[in-house]
Amino acid sequence: METSLHRQLKAIYAKEDARTEVPVGRYRIDAVVDDLLIEVQHASLASIRDKVQDLLREHRVLIVKPIIARKQLVKRARKNGRVVGRRRSPKQGTMLALFDELVYFTRVFPHENLMLDVPLVDIEEWRYPGHGRRRRRRENDFVVEDQRLVALRKLQRFQTAADLTELLPSGLPTPFHTGHLATALGMERWVAQRIAYCLRKMGAFDEVGKQGNTRLYDFAPIVKAPRAA
């Protein structure tokens, strides 16, 4: 089922003269503006990996991949029923969450015909009780009825691997390892390892040696390391 969030983002990108829900070969495209195919993808990028790879052979493609910064949970008594509660989800997203998706997309991005827009958004998520349909604790037993855009905080476009390095901190040593990256970003090391994997596969990082069993990296010659402020 198409959510309100999907329709709202599609409306932002579909100009007055755009065509929507357009068949292109064996695929259906959210919007087409001139010769640009636009796909709004709130679900995993992995699920459209083969589709996009196929389309890129003959078309220019723009993927719109929203990341949820803040989520307001709106609880209904039942499907389409009255609202019985509201609360803010403790989870918060940042642009760095993009790497959680790109780890499955390194065979597709970057590509000369591909652009990736990442809106950082606040949303409302409307829910109603699932009545035991999930074998989990009761508070997790719900069905998502809809997601709605509340605010667009930021929009960032990525076309190259170098663009992705703009999300990284300045002041990394030369060379550096994922421990340095994790400390600089204030995250667990396994998350930094995922980021390093993506950027190495995409050509933004070079593996330049080892320190014991730890891989050492440097920015590839085509990429400028982030400068200190």
Same domain, 129 and 34: yes
Q: Which two tokens stand for residue 125?
A: 């998520």
Answer left, alpha or beta for residue 207, where phi above 0 means left and psi between -120 and 50 means alpha.
beta
- Let me know if residue 210 belongs to a domain: yes
Confidence of residue 228 (pLDDT cuts 50, 70, 90): very low
Looking at residue 130, what is its pLDDT? 82
- Boundary residue ending a domain (125, 141, 159): 159
Pairing between β-strand 83-88 and β-strand 67-76 as defined by DSSP bridges: antiparallel
Asked if pLDDT for residue 188 goes beyond 70, the answer is yes
pLDDT 10s digits, 123-155: 999 998 986 554 444 556 889 999 999 999 999
Listed residues 143, 159, 175: the one ending a domain: 159
The verdict on 199 and 94 lying in the same domain is no
Given 135, 159, 183, the domain boundary residue is 159
pLDDT per residue over 9-49, tens digit each?
A: 999 988 777 788 999 999 999 999 989 999 999 999 999 99
Q: Residue 73's domain spans which residues? A: 4-159
Q: Are residues 148 and 185 in the same domain?
A: no
Give phi and psi for 107, each to the nearest 5.
-80, -10
Looking at the structure of the chain, the number of domains it has is 2
pLDDT above 70 for 110: yes
Residues 144 and 184 occupy one common structural domain: no
In a domain, 73, yes or no: yes
Whether 48 and 154 map to the same domain: the answer is yes
Six token digits for residue 165: 């390095």
Q: Quickly list DSSP for 84-97.
A: EEEEE-S----GGG
Within a domain: residue 228?
Answer: no
Q: Is residue 229 part of a domain?
A: no
Q: Say whether both 148 and 84 belong to one domain.
A: yes
133, 35: one domain: yes
pLDDT of residue 153: 95
Residues 78 and 140 in one domain: yes
- 225 located within any domain: no
Residue 222 scores a pLDDT above 60: yes
Beta bridge partners of 76: 83
Same domain, 122 and 187: no
Decide: helix, strand or coil at residue 102.
helix
**Would you put residue 209 in left (φ > 0), alpha (ψ -120 to 50) or beta?**
left
pLDDT of residue 14: 84
At 172, the pLDDT band (50, 70, 90 cuts) reads very high
pLDDT at 224: 64
Calculate what percentage of the chain has a pLDDT beyond 70: 93
Indicate if 122 and 199 belong to the same structural domain. Answer: no
Angle of helix 189-201 relative to helix 178-185, nearest 10 degrees, comes to 120
Do residues 142 and 39 both lie within one domain? yes
Q: What is the pLDDT of residue 229?
A: 41
Q: Say if CB 46 and CB 105 are below 8 A apart.
A: yes
CATH classification at residue 179: 1.10.10
Confidence of residue 223 (pLDDT cuts 50, 70, 90): confident
- Within a 10 A sphere around the Cβ of 113, how many other Cβ atoms? 16
226: in domain: no
Based on the fold, state whether residues 172 and 101 are members of the same structural domain.
no
pLDDT per residue over 197-212, tens digit each? 999 999 999 999 999 9
Distance between CA atoms of 126 and 93, rounded to whole angstroms? 19
